[in-house]
């Protein structure tokens, strides 16, 4: 497994502002992912954070709204831009080492947009 931390753990933001969420892993990992979990729902993959290149976004998610950085093999950020109340969710990062076929999750960031 891996030790994964996320900052902030929760935040309350105003409509139209942006929030950057950080994900830090205690060791190098091949794959890092960002998920959204809307209230009472299952998880939806936003994108795969690729080290040294642009993230790969899933259908329905775009870079302008959810810019992602991954400067190295242990760190990634997700920005939720121009927020609206519909963005209120838990945002989770997960990691997977090559060949492990198991994703481990960070503690999540609980975002409320007013």
Q: Which stretch binds other proteins (CB under 8 A): 18-26, 59-67, 71-79, 103-111?
A: 103-111
In the bound state with other proteins, the residue whose beta carbon lies nearer, of 52 and 82, is 52
3-state SS of 67-88?
CEEEEECCEEEEEECCCCHHHC
Asked if 75 is part of the footprint of other proteins (rule: CB under 8 A), the reply reads: no
Judge residue 25's burial from the number of C-beta atoms within 10 Å of its C-beta, 0-12 exposed, 13-18 middle, 19 or more buried: buried
Q: Which of 31, 73, 75, 81 binds other proteins (CB under 8 A)?
A: 31
Binding residues (CB under 8 A) for other proteins: these are 1, 31, 41-43, 45, 48, 90, 92, 94, 96, 101-108, 110
């Amino acid at each position: 497994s891996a030790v994964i931390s996320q900052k902030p753990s929760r935040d309350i933001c105003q409509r139209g502002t942006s929030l950057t969420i950080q994900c830090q892993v205690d060791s190098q990992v091949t794959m890092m992912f960002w998920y959204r979990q809307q209230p009472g729902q299952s998880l939806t993959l936003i994108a795969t954070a690729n080290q040294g290149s642009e993230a790969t976004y899933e259908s329905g998610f775009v870079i302008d709204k959810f810019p992602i950085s991954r400067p190295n093999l242990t760190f990634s950020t997700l920005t939720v831009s121009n927020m609206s109340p519909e963005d209120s969710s838990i945002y989770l990062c997960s990691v997977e080492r090559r060949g492990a076929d198991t994703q481990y999750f960070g503690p999540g960031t609980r975002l409320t947009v007013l």
